[in-house]
Amino acid sequence: MTAADAGPRADRSPRPLTDDARALLDALLAHDFLGVAELRAQVARATSTPGCRCGCGTLDLQVPDDVPAAPASGPAPVEGTVVGADGAPVGGVLLFVEDGRLSRLDITSHGDPLPLPAPDQVTWGPTRWAGADTVRRPARFRRG
């Protein structure tokens, strides 16, 4: 076991979503797009595990098989820009859907790893970098 494995994010057991994670997902899913109704319903039953070991707020999401799947996969068509106290962008929020289920809430950074941001730190807009032909990394190949 390395020192990174023994850190506070070493426990990879699925846990209920925190209020902060739920609030961020609710803010993102407040936008209308194909499959959003099913994704909103999935939030109530979703669990999460840390998405990486860098200290950021990224979460891998798990949804039970008996919850209805959305008719979509890939990156959600809405992304967030995380802004700092000075109003300048410091990172982003991306949601990935795999096989119609919430899969990953990715918190990106323009510098040091960002914790899960509060919804009032995020401005929302269309996902600019992903198109219908975007190939994204399947869950089994996520970073460690």
Helix, strand or coil, per DSSP, at residue 28: helix
| Res 78: pLDDT | 94
**Rounded mean pLDDT for each run of 10 residues along the chain, 144 residues in total:** 43 90 98 96 97 92 96 92 94 95 95 94 85 47 43
DSSP secondary structure of 50-93? ES-SSS---EEEE--TTSPPPS--EE-SEEEEEE-TTS-EEEEE
Q: Give the pair of three-digit tokens for residue 131.
A: 């198109």
Q: Which 8-state DSSP code applies to residue 30?
A: T
Instruction: Look up the pTM and report it.
Output: 0.82
Distance CA 142, CA 140 (A): 6
Q: Please classify residue 68 by burial: count the beta carbons closer than 10 Å to its beta carbon, then call 0-12 exposed, 13-18 middle and 19+ buried.
A: middle
| Res 53: pLDDT | 87
| Res 120: pLDDT | 95
